[in-house]
Structure 1
Amino acid sequence: MPEFCTAERDGRLLIVTMNRPDVMNSLHPPANHELAQVFDDFAADPDLWVAIITGAGDRAFSAGNDLKFQAGGGKMSVPDSGFAGLTSRHNLVKPVIAAVNGVAMGGGFEIALATDIIVASENAVFALPEPLVGLAALAGGLHRLPRQIPLKQAMGMILTGRRVSAKEGKELGFVNEVVPQGQALDAAKRWAGEILKCSPLSIRASKESVMGGLDIANLHDAIKAPFASVSTLLKSEDLIEGPKAFAEKRAPNWKGR
């Protein structure tokens, strides 16, 4: 069993909790490697279709890299899939939701930016403060943030390390929904429930097409680009089940194949 995180199955949903509340869920190498294994298992499990990542307690989602561990001489290492096993996991076609229940600083913000949907409690705070301690947001923050909000707004955050509230995060566009304190996980489950009503193969084809298409400057080329998840969808039983269920006025029975 993991020591620094938990992974709870709820039907087709996996709820992953970073579990180091005494250090505001900051992550050191053992925690990063545990989370990488959890998301490896999630990616490979055909019975799991959506994941939520959150932090233990009500103070922090994640304060990022465990600087005290590093300052104490601990050797820093990150798995190939990146910080929390997510920030360099570029081939995950299943959706991941961040339930940000407090501070999301540095690597913690980078984890949230690596997900597909961010739900934040009113007490959530976001920042990339690495330059203030002689570092840089190299786990994707410097590249994801300017792709998710206007460039000047992203540079304003990146070059100052300033803190942004959940409300401002929604106004800037990187937060999908702000909810009262203590309700981030429930709201994330609601979003997951809406996703789970859809064909999982349609969701994966959609995510892969969006993310892969962002790498292609020409719109025509992006539309015509071959994506593996699209090919899987077009050959699936679910492609037949969806229209059939609609015609029969019933809920579809998605099989994910």
Structure 2
Amino acid sequence: MIMPSDAVDVRVDGPVGTVLLNRPDYGNALTRAMMAELRQAIGDLHLEKRVRAVILTGAGDTFCVGRDLAELAGGDDPLADMARWGAEAEEYRDLLVAMLEFPKPLIAAVNGPATAGGAGLVLGCDAVIASDQATFGFTEPKRGSVAGVAGPLLAHRAGAGVAARLLVTATTIAAAEAHRIGLYHELVAHNLLWARAFELGSECATAAPQAVMLTKRLLYDTIGEVLGPQLTSGAAVSATSRTTDSAKEGIAAEAEGRAPEWP
């Protein structure tokens, strides 16, 4: 069962909508309810005709640290856990696909660390404006799991070599490095981040809506036939990785604030 949440806020300023991940005390970690709300927010802004571009950002000093670890922990029923982990991986895949298929420009305003599933949200956006305080990385292997869903999207955005290095080393890189390799398209001072994202969204709004929609459809159609099955396979790998003893130890170590002891 997915519990309701109020951790995703939406506002509209002229032709630009802003979707705010609003769990700052938890690094804006994604719960299942938040993923559902985020998809709903994207769908609502799709239908809002006055909105011509959308900004995705995080509250506080973090963009998003990925999935909520409390939800990833296993219970007393291994079969139920496996079913839940599979459903969660599919929900995250569906969220990224919804972002890729969104017919309006989607701009990530990365205000701080974007790691694990949060880094995947960045990759789901068309343009990325980042604060000089932002970081980027897929930390899942350090918790005994795999960035299965976002991995193929990372390879698409940055190339196989960059993807291999980031995924295998589980390295978190600084904003300047993420900018150098093309993951962050523009860096700005922290206090100017939303203003610059809004400026870019307003610039997008001067283009013909139908032309932008068709352009985005073309972009997704070009990659969707190949990337779609890869994301599905990645979701299966991600769910499988959560059933391992390594994932159990990684999540426990994170919760207890200690170094993991890998089996």
2:36 is the counterpart of 1:26: no
Secondary structure of residue in 2 paired with 1:87: helix
* CA–CA separation in structure 2 for the residues paired with 1:5 and 1:214: 29
State the Cα distance separating 1:214 from its structure 2 match. 3.5
Q: Equivalent residue for 1:251?
A: none
Please give the TM-score of this superposition, normalised by the length of structure 2: 0.74
2:170 is the counterpart of 1:170: no
State the Cα distance separating 1:197 from its structure 2 match. 1.2
Q: Equivalent residue for 2:97?
A: 88
Q: How does 1:16-165 map to 2 (within 5 A)?
A: 16-58=19-61, 60-71=62-73, 78=88, 82=92, 86-89=95-98, 90-139=100-149, 141-165=150-174
Alignment identity in percent? Answer: 28
Q: Quick one: which amino acid aligns to residue 142 of structure 1?
A: G
* CA–CA separation in structure 1 for the residues paired with 2:138 and 2:33: 23
- Of 70-79 and 5-14, deviating more is 70-79
Tell me the matched-pair count.
214
- Of 43-52 and 16-25, deviating more is 43-52
Secondary structure of residue in 2 paired with 1:182: helix
Secondary structure of residue in 1 paired with 2:33: helix
Secondary structure of residue in 2 paired with 1:120: strand
* CA–CA separation in structure 2 for the residues paired with 1:64 and 1:166: 18
* CA–CA separation in structure 1 for the residues paired with 2:70 and 2:192: 30
State the Cα distance separating 1:80 from its structure 2 match. 6.4
Q: How does 1:172-211 map to 2 (within 5 A)?
A: 172-211=181-220
Secondary structure of residue in 1 paired with 2:54: strand
Deviations 1:111-166 (A, max 9, x none): 01001011100110100111111211133x21111111132122100111101111
* CA–CA separation in structure 1 for the residues paired with 2:90 and 2:225: 25
Relative to structure 1, the CA distance from residue 91 to residue 79 in structure 2 (aligned partners, 3 Å threshold; closer, same or farther) is farther
* CA–CA separation in structure 2 for the residues paired with 1:109 and 1:119: 13
Greater Rg over alpha carbons, structure = 1
CA RMSD of superposed structures (Å): 2.3
Relative to structure 1, the CA distance from residue 71 to residue 214 in structure 2 (aligned partners, 3 Å threshold; closer, same or farther) is closer
* CA–CA separation in structure 2 for the residues paired with 1:5 and 1:66: 14
- Structure 1 unaligned segments of length 5 or more: list them: 218-257
* CA–CA separation in structure 2 for the residues paired with 1:153 and 1:53: 24
Q: Equivalent residue for 1:230?
A: none
Secondary structure of residue in 2 paired with 1:51: strand
State the Cα distance separating 1:44 from its structure 2 match. 2.5
Asked if structure 1 preserves the Cα contact closer than 8 Å seen for 2:35 and 2:95, the reply is no
- Structure 2 unaligned segments of length 5 or more: list them: 76-80, 227-263
* CA–CA separation in structure 1 for the residues paired with 2:187 and 2:18: 19
Structure with the greater relative contact order (CA < 8 A, sep ≥ 6): 1 or 2? 2
Asked if structure 1 preserves the Cα contact closer than 8 Å seen for 2:35 and 2:91, the reply is no
Asked if structure 1 preserves the Cα contact closer than 8 Å seen for 2:10 and 2:17, the reply is yes
* CA–CA separation in structure 1 for the residues paired with 2:184 and 2:128: 5
* CA–CA separation in structure 2 for the residues paired with 1:33 and 1:114: 16
* CA–CA separation in structure 2 for the residues paired with 1:72 and 1:125: 29
* CA–CA separation in structure 2 for the residues paired with 1:66 and 1:152: 29
Asked if structure 1 preserves the Cα contact closer than 8 Å seen for 2:101 and 2:220, the reply is no
Please give the TM-score of this superposition, normalised by the length of structure 1: 0.76
